[in-house]
């Protein structure tokens, strides 16, 4: 377990920035009320075995008691670094993203299941969409009842979505909460 | 007018003061130092130099010293050239390498310039050029030589006739080398001062050059636009080699064997008769006559071992023969290397071949490598060399490896958090990088359109009954998403 160095921080933040925009500040400066300390602490990012964890500082302090080899996980895993040095977000960071998302998409109840099985979001299944989405932006996918289902990358801008045919892909699937079942071992 | 070859050894060092008057060109076909080839030789200046040769003998204080230093027998022109002080160093190298030939060849290329034009131009004199032009004249003995001395010829002859009628008989001239030598000369008395000696030397040098010039104009000449052309005779003086004669190659093992047995090498035709195709083919190489490999069927013999592939055996045999020959070759080369008679094409690669005995030449360590090793040795202590005494001139060890430093996992409370600083820095950078998208045109247009739509909807007030329920359904989620657009169908 170690703090991220500068390049790693940059890659992580850039990825998060895609989804949250300027709300990233909220994530970084989020006060934590864990631990015995009377005042609010902070959250920080820690790298452990290629995975990046979003942990409160008080938890980090206590985790130092555990040897590196023994430590399995701490806080919330938000993603992992690939061997090539890229950063991939995982499902666990969904709640973090959902609360700070800049671009959102709501799915019709009929297409929810399809998305949860790992399919892309089609125009036909689109309930609502926020404005000003540019292709390539990170988009958080919600159900109509505002339950976060997953996230992905916008394939079309909001404007283009209007004219799109119902089978056109609007959001490219990255992760969804179905992975908790499908990829239980890997998470 | 016959020259006698004058070997170098004839003139020892001690004799050098008198050398100034002796004339002898020293040159051989050895390599030329690069700096000499780089000298920009201008024929113009060279020719001019010859022209002014007789008149330009001025300060020649260096002659004596130079001669003694190099133990060289000098061409008279060279002698003069050497006296020029400012080119002394270049000349020294020039003379010591005794390589006029290549320069002459260099000049040949440039020789297409009309000499008569050159002769009339007035440019400053360079001793190197003087040397060069003389050599050039010598080189051209096999071709026609241009002699643009026409205007001066008569003049020169007169001078010669006046000054040196008797000596000329004694002087031996080798016209092929454009060289003159006076074997009978001796100083009447030891010159008192250096200047006097120089003067005398130059006077004698003049005589010698004059002798050459005279005999040159006595040669049968043909007229040309540029002047009379003469054919130089072959050079008579044998100039010594710089390097030894190559050592004869020792006979190979086969050659010695053949000699004892009396086997003589007989030439065979390049072409041989090929029986299977009934044609004539080359004896060796591709598509050769009686090629074993091209035989499709091999007849079985009684001696054949059952289970053995005759084709494979042939190939194997061939391979063995080639290997054996290679071994023999290396053995012979080894013998040659012992005598020092390796052929030139092998010499460079000799260290790569298993000839010299030691296959790997001892590697020389570079300064950097040694420094690195020293650095490693110096830091191989418990303290990493921190408390060791530094040797004079020892540099601090360079860390080649990467030492990654991470921030501490946990920082104390009172401390200013480095990690926080870092994240803030990265965050600010990221936000400022993306802050240029403050005004979003699309968004503005959208908002404008939506407003317009609303106005239009409000004005008529005649929304259809089918629309209304739909609107209500959509309104609910709209409250949450601040500005979202109904997409439901």
Domain boundary among the residues A51, A77, A94 is at: A94
Range from A41-50, A97-106, B113-122, B303-312 carrying the lowest mean pLDDT: B113-122
User: Looking at the structure, do residues A163 and A81 belong to the same domain, yes or no?
Assistant: no
Q: Which residues of B touch A129 (CB under 8 A)?
A: 484-485, 487
Q: Which residues of A touch B483 (CB under 8 A)?
A: 130-131
- Between chain A and chain B, the number of residue pairs with CB atoms below 8 A apart is 87
Residue B439: closest CA among chain A residues belongs to which residue? A132
User: Looking at the structure, do residues B191 and B115 belong to the same domain, yes or no?
Assistant: no
User: Looking at the structure, do residues A45 and A113 belong to the same domain, yes or no?
Assistant: no
Q: What is the ipTM for the molecules in this complex?
A: 0.87
Containing domain of residue A58, as a range?
1-94
Domain boundary among the residues A94, A126, A153 is at: A94
CA A136 – CA A146 distance, rounded (Å): 23
- A61 found inside a domain: yes
User: Looking at the structure, do residues B144 and B117 belong to the same domain, yes or no?
Assistant: no
Nearest to A131 among B426, B434, B443 (CB): B443
Nearest to A130 among B440, B481, B486 (CB): B481
Total domains, chain B: 4
User: Looking at the structure, do residues A72 and A115 belong to the same domain, yes or no?
Assistant: no
Q: Which pLDDT band holds residue A19 (cuts at 50, 70, 90)?
A: very high
Domain boundary among the residues B134, B162, B190 is at: B162
- B383 found inside a domain: no
> Given an 8 Å threshold on Cβ–Cβ distance, is B440 in contact with A132?
yes
User: Looking at the structure, do residues A113 and A167 belong to the same domain, yes or no?
Assistant: yes
Tell me, yes or no, if B487 comes closer than 8 A to chain A by beta carbon: yes
User: Looking at the structure, do residues B226 and B177 belong to the same domain, yes or no?
Assistant: yes
Domain boundary among the residues A73, A94, A115 is at: A94
Which CATH number characterizes residue A37's domain? 3.10.450.220
pLDDT in tens, B417-436: 888 888 888 999 888 888 77
Q: Which of B422, B423, B428 to mutate to test the interface with A (most CBs of A within 10 A)?
A: B423
- A36 found inside a domain: yes
What is residue B177's predicted lDDT score, i.e. its pLDDT?
83
- A187 found inside a domain: no
Which CATH number characterizes residue A135's domain? 2.30.130.10
User: Looking at the structure, do residues A61 and A122 belong to the same domain, yes or no?
Assistant: no
Please provide the average confidence, as pLDDT, over all residues in chain A: 90
Total domains, chain A: 2
Nearest to B406 among A2, A28, A129 (CB): A2
User: Looking at the structure, do residues B208 and B266 belong to the same domain, yes or no?
Assistant: no
Containing domain of residue B312, as a range?
253-296+307-350
| Mean pLDDT of each 10-residue bin along chain B, 489 residues long | 37 34 37 38 42 41 41 39 42 40 36 37 41 41 39 43 51 85 78 84 87 86 84 85 85 94 92 91 91 86 88 93 94 86 76 63 74 78 78 68 80 75 88 75 81 84 47 45 42
* Distance (Å) from the alpha carbon of B396 to chain A's nearest alpha carbon: 28
Domain boundary among the residues B62, B90, B121 is at: B121
Share of chain A above pLDDT 90, in %: 55
What is residue B324's predicted lDDT score, i.e. its pLDDT?
96
> Given an 8 Å threshold on Cβ–Cβ distance, is A131 in contact with B404?
no
Tell me, yes or no, if B412 comes closer than 8 A to chain A by beta carbon: no
Q: What average pLDDT does range A132-159 have in this prediction?
A: 91
- A107 found inside a domain: yes
- pTM of the entire structure? 0.39
> Given an 8 Å threshold on Cβ–Cβ distance, is A128 in contact with B484?
yes
């Amino acid at each position: 377990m170690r703090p991220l160095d500068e390049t790693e921080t940059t890659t992580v933040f850039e990825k998060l920035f895609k989804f949250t925009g300027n709300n990233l500040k909220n994530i970084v400066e989020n006060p934590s009320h864990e631990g015995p300390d009377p005042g609010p602490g902070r959250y920080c990012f820690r790298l452990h075995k290629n995975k990046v964890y979003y942990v409160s500082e008080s938890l980090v302090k206590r985790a130092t008691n555990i040897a590196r080899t023994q430590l399995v996980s701490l806080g919330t895993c938000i993603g992992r670094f690939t061997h090539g040095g890229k950063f991939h977000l995982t499902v666990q960071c969904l709640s973090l993203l959902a609360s700070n998302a800049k671009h959102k998409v709501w799915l019709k109840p009929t297409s929810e299941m399809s998305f949860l099985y790992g399919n892309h979001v089609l125009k036909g299944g689109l309930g609502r969409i926020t404005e000003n989405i540019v292709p390539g932006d990170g988009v958080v996918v919600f159900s109509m009842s505002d339950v976060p289902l997953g996230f992905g990358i916008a394939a079309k801008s909001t404007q283009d979505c209007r004219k799109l045919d119902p089978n056109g892909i609007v959001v490219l699937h990255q992760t969804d909460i179905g992975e908790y079942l499908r990829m239980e071992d890997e998470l | 007018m016959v020259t006698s070859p004058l070997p170098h050894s004839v003139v020892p060092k001690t004799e050098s003061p008198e050398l100034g008057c002796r004339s002898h060109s020293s040159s051989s076909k050895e390599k030329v130092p690069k700096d000499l080839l780089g000298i920009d030789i201008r024929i113009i200046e060279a020719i001019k130099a010859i022209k002014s040769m007789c008149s330009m003998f001025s300060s020649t204080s260096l002659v004596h010293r130079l001669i003694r230093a190099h133990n060289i027998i000098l061409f008279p022109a060279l002698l003069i050239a050497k006296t020029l002080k400012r080119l002394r160093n270049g000349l020294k190298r020039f003379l010591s390498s005794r390589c006029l030939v290549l320069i002459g060849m260099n000049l040949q290329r440039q020789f297409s310039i009309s000499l008569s034009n050159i002769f009339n131009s007035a440019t400053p004199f360079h001793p190197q050029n003087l040397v060069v032009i003389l050599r050039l004249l010598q080189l051209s003995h096999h071709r026609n030589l241009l002699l643009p001395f026409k205007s001066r010829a008569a003049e020169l002859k007169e001078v010669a006739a006046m000054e040196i009628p008797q000596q000329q008989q004694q002087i031996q001239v080798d016209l092929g080398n454009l060289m003159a030598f006076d074997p009978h000369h001796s100083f009447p008395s030891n010159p008192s001062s250096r200047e006097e000696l120089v003067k005398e030397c130059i006077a004698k040098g003049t005589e010698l050059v004059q002798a050459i010039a005279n005999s040159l104009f006595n040669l049968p000449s043909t007229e040309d636009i540029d002047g009379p052309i003469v054919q130089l005779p072959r050079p008579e003086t044998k100039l010594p080699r710089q390097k030894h004669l190559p050592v004869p190659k020792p006979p190979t093992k086969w050659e010695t064997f053949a000699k004892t047995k009396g086997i003589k090498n007989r030439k065979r035709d390049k072409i041989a008769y090929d029986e299977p195709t009934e044609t004539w083919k080359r004896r060796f190489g591709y598509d050769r006559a009686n090629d074993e490999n091209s035989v499709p069927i091999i007849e079985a013999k009684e001696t054949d071992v059952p289970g053995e592939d005759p084709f494979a055996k042939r190939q194997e045999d061939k391979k063995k023969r080639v290997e054996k020959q290679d071994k023999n070759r290396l053995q012979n080369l080894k013998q040659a290397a012992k005598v020092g008679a390796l052929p030139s094409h092998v010499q460079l690669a000799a260290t790569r071949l298993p000839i010299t005995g030691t296959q790997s030449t001892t590697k020389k360590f570079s300064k950097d490598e040694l420094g690195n090793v020293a650095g490693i040795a110096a830091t191989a202590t418990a303290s990493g060399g921190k408390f060791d005494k530094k040797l004079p001139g020892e540099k601090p060890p360079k860390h080649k490896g990467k030492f990654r430093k991470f921030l501490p996992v946990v920082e104390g409370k009172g401390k200013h958090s480095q990690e926080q600083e870092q994240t803030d820095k990265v965050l600010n950078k990221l936000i400022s990088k993306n802050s240029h998208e403050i005004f979003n045109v699309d968004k503005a247009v959208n908002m404008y359109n939506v407003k317009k739509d609303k106005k239009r909807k409000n004005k008529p007030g005649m929304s259809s009954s089918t629309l209304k329920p739909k609107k209500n359904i959509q309104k609910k989620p709209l409250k949450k998403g601040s500005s979202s657009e109904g997409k439901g169908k």
